[in-house]
Amino acid sequence: MKNYPAIGIRPIVDSRRLGIRDALEGKVREMAQSAKKLIEENVFYADGTPVRVVIFSGSIAGGEEAARCEAQFAAEHVTATLSVTPSWCYPLETIDMNPLTIKAIWGFNGTERPGAVYLASAMAAHNQMRRPCFSIYGRDVQDMEEQEIPKDVQEKILRFARCAVAAGEMQNKSYVGFGAVSMGIMGSFLDPAFYAQYLGMRSEWVDMTEILRRMDLGIYDQEEYKEALTWVYANCKEGCDPNPDERAHSRGQKDEEWEFVVKMTMIIRDIMLGNEKLAGMGFAEEALGRNGLFGGFQGQRMWTDYKPNADFTEAILNSSFDWNGKRQPLVFATENDNLNGLSMLFGNLLTGKASGFSDVRCYWSPEAVKRVTNWEPEGKAAEGFIHLINSGSTCLDASGKAKDEAGKGVMKPWWEMKEEDIRACLDATDWCPAELCQFRGGGYSSHFKTDAEMPLTMVRVNLVDGLGPVMQIAEGWSIVLPEDVHHKIDIRTDRTWPTTWFVPRTNGKKAFRDVYSVMANWGANHGAFIHGHVGADLITLSSMLRIPVTMHNVDEEKIFRPHVWASFGTNDLEAADREACRAFGPLYR
């Protein structure tokens, strides 16, 4: 079900008529319209639709009009508000008091009217009444008649809007976990209280046998299945079979496994999203789906010891395309690691791009690389690098084969993918039969290497007893190693899996002292990665969700959190963040 969260703009004015309110109405309306335009042109829901922005029909000078605004916004599913004003107004009578909306105020930096005085006073009210609010105030004084939104104000409005919409898209949606905990991986343990209280999400469990039930009873679109299988045979070339001849599956078995994994992919998608075609086949309940926003699959080991694994399913669902062409990625976590899936989801909601899922497998020091390959790491690899590799599944976008206008390898918002991008990602990927010691039931692993130097942000949400959820962020780059070096170290691991060589940006201090320290401090076996340096957005989103960021390498001046965070300290921002999140607690408790 689609229920887009809207951003509501609240024009605030001084109530004194006879020359003040009248003089402000035009300016405040123009501020509201320009903010609406800025957001609608630059911020998108994960499905590519421009964000819906509504402006209160009037302006707000007191509690009565504030209440009217609240009523209008409630009917419009407004989950975040941006109040705008060029003047002094009366904070306790005009601010957004809704405990659930995510709030910001843009106070015009002009001195004809005391906009900044209102802003500061409104922040004091928000801070004292447990209603955290983002403060947006331009660095340079503007003339009252100026209509241009200054660049620094634009950056804050857009960061606020992207993150508030991401938070809003999670509300009332579900995480759908197929199976249970995989191989004792703690991230697979699904804590419904965390999702309900911090994200406003529902947690659902689906036994993996549901996939077999639908397969055996033919509860999937048979026509689409034929098209999908034809597309797979034409576009998903088989790679090397790592199994010794005496153990390798026969051609017949392998063909059955292709049929199986294509059906499995469609069935899991239908369980997550629903499919009205199923209603026409007499399966009304199955047609509804489970309102899934993201999900995960246990796989190992009970399923994968018996049936084909979900490597193909996870890789295709996480990619920005399938046999129907380009489409919104469906974030789907390997090994049912919902915390890594959530980390992927944050990146996807903020950018519209496919997210990578990886084991954080190994730190390669320059010395070790030299010893093993006789190559002296240089450039971004000079301090060593981290091997990101997942057991058989990463979105094909992570091959880095989509190209921007300059011909550079990138990962694009799914709606910008071109046919040639999809073709290039498919051509760069082969699908290796599963290594049968680990996956006795077979299946196919997406096998590629990230073949472009791209800005990436590695992300992880962890749950820590006594602290709650925490976020880790490492901005850095994928790197491309000389082919022989890549080959020598890649085949030391599972040669049929997708590899990304990652170098975090280090600064010689604390967790980012060097590449080794980043790996040593990482909170779990998995990490998600998203294209671009989006750490500042992740920090803002985390503050909205009251998730403290306990590790990041984002420049301090880019950090944008609710104004009240400064009241928890300005010297140690990490401690202040932790204290503020603890003080306010989860949004939906």
Ligand X SMILES: C[C@H](O)[C@@H](O)[C@@H](O)C(=O)CO
User: How far is it, in rounded angstroms, from Cα 558 to Cα 156?
Assistant: 9
Under rule CB under 6 A, residue 438 binds ligand X: yes
> Which tokens is 581 given?
């999140």
Query: Closest residue to ligand X, Cβ-based?
Result: 391
Would you say 549 and 556 are in contact if contact means Cβ atoms under 8 Å apart? no
Under rule CB under 6 A, residue 457 binds ligand X: no
Task: Figure out which of the listed residues 188, 391, 393, 543 binds ligand X, where binding follows CB under 6 A.
Answer: 391
> Helix, strand, or coil here: 344?
helix
Task: Figure out which of the listed residues 85, 121, 142, 300 binds ligand X, where binding follows CB under 6 A.
Answer: 300
> Helix, strand, or coil here: 98?
coil
Residue 438's binding partner among Mn ion, ligand X, none (Cβ under 5 to 8 angstroms by kind) is ligand X
Rg (CA), the chain: 25
Distance spanning both ends of the chain, measured CA to CA: 24
User: How far is it, in rounded angstroms, from Cα 381 to Cα 518?
Assistant: 14
> Which tokens is 520 given?
């040593």
Could you give the string, one character per residue 499-538, with x where binding to ligand X holds by CB under 6 A and - elsewhere? --------------------------x-------------
Would you say 129 and 563 are in contact if contact means Cβ atoms under 8 Å apart? no
One-letter amino acid at 189 equals F
Active site residue 453: no
Closest approach of ligand X to the CB of residue 534, in Å: 24
Under rule CB under 5 A, residue 286 binds Mn ion: no
Residue 526 is assigned to a ligand binding site: yes
* Residue whose structure tokens are 């995510």: 102
User: How far is it, in rounded angstroms, from Cα 331 to Cα 343?
Assistant: 10
Partners of 53 in beta bridges: 7
Sign of CA dihedral 324, 329, 330, 335: positive
Would you say 84 and 12 are in contact if contact means Cβ atoms under 8 Å apart? yes
Residue 359 is assigned to a ligand binding site: yes
Would you say 76 and 9 are in contact if contact means Cβ atoms under 8 Å apart? no
> Helix, strand, or coil here: 194?
helix
Phi, psi of 133 (to 5 degrees): -145, 140
Cα angle 251, 253, 254; round to 5: 65
Active site residue 430: no
- DSSP label at 486? H
Q: Which of residues 308-337 bind Mn ion (CB under 5 A)?
A: 335
* Residue whose structure tokens are 């950056």: 155
User: How far is it, in rounded angstroms, from Cα 118 to Cα 140?
Assistant: 17
Residue 270 or 314 with smaller CB distance to Mn ion: 314
Query: Closest residue to Mn ion, Cβ-based?
Result: 359
Under rule CB under 5 A, residue 397 binds Mn ion: no
Q: Of residues 311, 322, 335, 451, which has the active-site annotation?
A: 335
Could you give the string, one character per residue 151-190, with x where binding to ligand X holds by CB under 6 A and - elsewhere? ----------------------------------x-----
User: How far is it, in rounded angstroms, from Cα 280 to Cα 275?
Assistant: 10
Residue 185 or 528 with smaller CB distance to ligand X: 185
Residue 579 is assigned to a ligand binding site: no
* Residue whose structure tokens are 């819906």: 52
User: How far is it, in rounded angstroms, from Cα 78 to Cα 151?
Assistant: 26
Crossing angle for the helix pair 535-545 and 151-170, to the nearest 10 degrees: 50
The kind and range of the H/E element at 530 are strand 526-531
Task: Figure out which of the listed residues 14, 314, 359, 514 binds Mn ion, where binding follows CB under 5 A.
Answer: 359
Under rule CB under 6 A, residue 335 binds ligand X: yes
Would you say 354 and 319 are in contact if contact means Cβ atoms under 8 Å apart? yes
Q: Which parts of this chain interact with Mn ion (CB under 5 A)?
A: 335, 359
Q: Which parts of this chain interact with ligand X (CB under 6 A)?
A: 185, 300, 335, 359, 391, 438, 525
Catalytic residues: 335, 359
Binding residues for Mn(2+) are 335, 359, 526
